[in-house]
Structures are given as C-alpha cells and as structure tokens.
C-alpha cells in the first residue's frame, strides 16, 4: 500500500541518483498570475521528466533475478524513457509499449536508451491488455506508469524535496499545481506534503476533454475520457484515474483545474521567455492553470510543478507563433 514510509524508503534508494531540481521564480509570471508563482523545474530531471524518480524507485526495488529477466512498461513517452534509462543503468533488458502517435522524439529517445519499442494503436487497442499478455509470454516484470506502489513512492520524493525547498519561504498556505494523467505524481506528492507541509494543498491540472480526474473527484468514482478526443498534451492523456492512485487523490487533493491547448501553448512560450526553460505541453498544464485559472486558486502564492520538457521544435515554434499573435 502506498504510504509515507514507502516514500522515505524510495528517497534513500534515489539519493545520489536523481537531481534535486530547483524552485524558480519570475516576477513576470507573478504579474500574469496575480500572485507569487514558484516553479518546481522537474523538466530538468534526468530523461527530462519526473518519471525518472518512479522508474529508479521501482527498478531498484526488484531482485537481481527479476531485473535480469527483463522489464516491461507501457507509456506515451516519459515513463518509457525513465524505465529505459534506469534499466540500462541496472543492465536489465527493457521492452516498452508505446502508442504509434507518440511524439517521434520520445520514441527515438527510448530506443536510443537501449529499449525494445513495440507500437500500438491508442484508440483501437488496450495497452493494459497488451502489457499483461506480453509480460506473461516473455516472463517480464511489468512496471505500470502510475498504478504501482513503488512508482508512486518514487514520485513522492519530489514532494519531500519540494516541502524542504518551500520551508525557506514565509508561506502560510498555498495550492500546489501538478500536471495529472493517471495520478501517480499527484498522489505521491500529496502523500509526501501531507506529512512535511500540511499547509500546502495539491491540485490536479488537466487538459480540456481529458479532465477525468476533476470529474472523478466531483462524483467520487473513477470517470473515463472519450478515446477519440485530441490534445497536444500527450504525456497526460490517460483514459481514467488509476485504480491505486484515485483513492489517494480522493482523500488528499483539492478540486481539479482544466485548461485548453491554446492556454498550454501560451504557458510554454512564457516559460521559455521568462525562465529560459523548455517544457512540453503535458508538463506545462499546471503553469497554464496558474496563469489562466487565477480565480480558482487560493492564497498569495501558488506553486507549480513543470513535470516534463520532452518536446520538439515544431511544438515550441507553435507556442512562439501564438505568442506573437497575442
């Protein structure tokens, strides 16, 4: 079961193997958001996203025998790269199931990290069913992107790190905005902050038409998204909140926030201009929420987690072009 004890255990295994990503600030972003904005730049983590934390936590917890048999994961890209990179370090074979419409950059990066990549149709096939079958047929250990207690614990180390960084500021209360797909990071950070910074409230942030977490929190049960909807935020396009993560979210987090692809592109451009950081669409949803949903946020300070920076020039150019038109 996911717990603060698992997070502390993961923190010990991750020590010296993950980067402590900085907490940044820009007065330009404060002006747009109408309050102080603190930015946790997890896009600067190894492999360009927070997923490296969960991958290291899960793989390091396996026995040498299980690692030697091989590791299987399914992912749209960031979990894929995290698992591939950590598996390579541990000299473990890795097989990754990825959607055929995943960004080419993420597919090629995963291959370059030594993993075997198997593509599937996001709309017509189930990665979960493919994963279970492949794990059984080839004797691989499946590490799910969010419904895995050790993955959640690894992501929770970001919360411990953030709690320590925020303690240096005079903040009585603040919302912590986290880009949310299946909910592994959001759940892990919520568990950690409940222990080390209970004055901070975690808020899941999602793109329009993929607001399953927001709707699930409202109804009290796991809601699903329409598979045929389209968004540029590929990193967090999941069908429904996780079976393991949702009970944690339902217990610990505040209401969800939702933004449009247009607003996400604006956030990408602002992030580059003001912080000199490259962030991918799925990793910029929390910043877009801080900038465009200011009336739904409480407190004089808001904390934003930039969850990933794995994007291509075409997407960044689209963000710049949009900024010129505004």
> Among the residues of 50-103, which ranges form H helices?
51-60, 64-69, 78-89
Domain ranges of the chain: 4-50+149-325, 52-142
Give 259's strand partners.
207
- Residue 136 makes CB contacts below 8 A (sequence gap 6+) with none
pLDDT of residue 67: 98
Residue 323 pLDDT greater than 90, yes or no:
no
Single pTM value for the model: 0.96
The model's pLDDT over 45-71, given as tens digits with 9 standing for 90+, comes to 999 999 999 999 999 999 999 999 999
> Burial letters for 207-240: b for 16+ Cβ neighbours within 10 Å, e otherwise?
bebbbbbbbbbeeeebbebeeeeebbbbbbbbbb
The model's pLDDT over 203-222, given as tens digits with 9 standing for 90+, comes to 999 999 999 999 999 999 99
pLDDT of residue 309: 97
Residue 20: phi and psi, rounded to 5, are -85, 105
Confidence of residue 258 (pLDDT cuts 50, 70, 90): very high
Q: Tell me which CATH code domain 4-50+149-325 carries.
A: 3.40.50.1100
Q: Is 273 left (phi over 0), alpha (psi -120 to 50) or beta?
A: alpha
| R_g of the chain, CA atoms, integer Å | 18
Confidence of residue 325 (pLDDT cuts 50, 70, 90): confident
Q: Do 4-50+149-325 and 52-142 have matching folds?
A: yes
Residue 1 pLDDT greater than 80, yes or no:
no
Q: Tell me which CATH code domain 52-142 carries.
A: 3.40.50.1100
pLDDT of residue 45: 98
226 vs 188, more confident: 188
- What mean pLDDT is predicted for residues 157-174? 95
The model's pLDDT over 109-162, given as tens digits with 9 standing for 90+, comes to 999 999 999 999 988 899 999 999 999 999 999 999 999 999 999 999 999 999
């Amino acid at each position: 079961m996911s717990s603060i004890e698992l997070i502390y255990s993961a923190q010990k295994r991750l020590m010296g193997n993950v980067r402590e990503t900085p907490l940044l600030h820009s007065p330009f972003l404060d002006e747009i958001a109408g309050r102080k904005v603190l930015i946790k730049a997890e896009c600067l983590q190894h492999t360009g996203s927070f997923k490296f934390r969960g991958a290291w936590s899960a793989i390091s917890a396996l026995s040498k025998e299980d690692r030697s048999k091989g590791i299987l994961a399914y992912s749209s890209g960031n979990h894929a790269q995290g698992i591939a990179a950590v598996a390579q370090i541990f000299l473990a074979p890795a097989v990754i199931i990825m959607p055929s419409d995943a960004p080419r950059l993420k597919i090629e990066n995963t291959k370059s990290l030594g993993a075997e990549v198997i593509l599937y149709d996001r709309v017509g096939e189930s990665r979960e069913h493919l994963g279970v079958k492949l794990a059984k047929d080839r004797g691989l250990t499946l590490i799910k992107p969010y419904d895995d207690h050790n993955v959640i614990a690894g992501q929770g180390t970001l919360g411990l790190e953030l709690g320590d960084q925020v303690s240096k500021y005079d903040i009585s209360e603040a919302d912590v905005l986290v880009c949310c797909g299946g909910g592994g990071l959001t759940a892990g950070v919520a568990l950690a902050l409940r222990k080390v910074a209970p004055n901070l409230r975690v808020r899941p942030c999602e793109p329009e038409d993929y607001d399953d977490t927001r709707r699930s929190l409202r109804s009290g049960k796991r809601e699903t998204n329409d598979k045929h909807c389209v968004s540029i935020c590929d990193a967090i396009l999941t069908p429904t909140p996780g079976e393991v993560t949702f009970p944690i979210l339902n217990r610990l987090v505040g209401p969800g926030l939702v933004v449009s692809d247009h607003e996400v592109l604006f956030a990408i451009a602002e992030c580059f201009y003001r912080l000199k950081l490259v962030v991918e669409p799925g990793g910029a949803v929390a910043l877009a929420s801080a900038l465009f949903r200011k009336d739904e946020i409480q407190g004089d300070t808001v904390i934003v987690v930039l969850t990933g920076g794995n994007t291509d020039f075409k997407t960044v150019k689209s963000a710049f072009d949009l900024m010129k038109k505004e």
